[in-house]
Amino acid sequence: MEIQVDRVTVEFPRAGEEPASLKEWLVGLGRPGRRKSRFRALDQVSFSVERGEVLGIVGANGSGKSTLLKVISGALVPTAGRVAVCRDKVRLLTLGTGFDPELTGRENVYLNGALTGYTREELDRRFPDIVAFSELEGFLEEKVRNYSAGMVSRLAFAIATAREAPGILILDEVLSVGDLFFRQKSEARIRQLIHGGSTVLLVSHSPGVIRQNCTRALWLDRGRLRLSGDPDTVCAAYEGGRDQ
């Protein structure tokens, strides 16, 4: 078993409940009877992932998809429940994470690469391949703040997948941005990683992406696991649920 998620619950204080200033905090001390409400982003979610599986996670905005990925990668500690996974094997790719908009594309390759575990020597060696895959040869000296969302996605994907196949690759909506040709390239690169033995978790709003790339799928709905099974069945249920 590569990943085991056991009754994971994640709660956050609702927006506006936390004091915005020292004055508000002091005033709140005089109201002991006031109970803070909390938002449950994930509610008793359990599932497992076998080595080499490509698991798609689908759901509407606010369903808990990104929260779940952060818990699995170790970026977020659950309120309750547990996750069993070797986090040294996990590589998480979310759009624009680890990029400084005031740095150039070239500088961000080294910054983002360092944050995702590359050494300087690895980045020097793989830099030409990263640039070639991202197709941003003419934009490396531009600041990333001037990049489109698609350009950021291309550079992030190229950095994350330049290394040999990771044990576990987590992709958060990275295939939904960019032109058709680059999406096809990205999907081909993912297939290479899969054949290299990687376990892949792929989050997408697009049922089509899940159907084309995944061996199994989960549907998250308002923090709860609604359905798990083959991608066609899960995506059909998700599409039907959205129409209700």
pLDDT, tens digit (0-9, with 9 covering 90-100), for 164-210: 777 888 888 776 656 778 878 887 887 777 777 789 899 988 888 89
Residue keyed to tokens 């089509």: 208
Cα-Cα-Cα-Cα dihedral sign, residues 106, 109, 114, 117: negative
pLDDT range class, residue 244, cuts 50, 70, 90: very low
* Rounded distance between C-alpha atoms, residue 170 and residue 200, angstroms: 6
Residue 94: which H helix or E strand, with range? strand 90-94
Using DSSP's 3-state secondary structure scheme, residue 155 falls into helix
Q: Do the beta carbons of residue 135 and residue 72 sit within 8 Å? A: no
pLDDT, tens digit (0-9, with 9 covering 90-100), for 44-76: 999 999 998 999 999 998 999 989 999 998 989
How many other CB atoms sit within 10 Å of the CB of residue 155? Answer: 26
CA angle 171, 14, 220 (to 5 degrees): 35
Listed in order, strand segments (DSSP E) in 184-223 are 199-203, 216-221
Predicted structure pTM score: 0.75
Q: Do the beta carbons of residue 42 and residue 111 sit within 8 Å? A: no
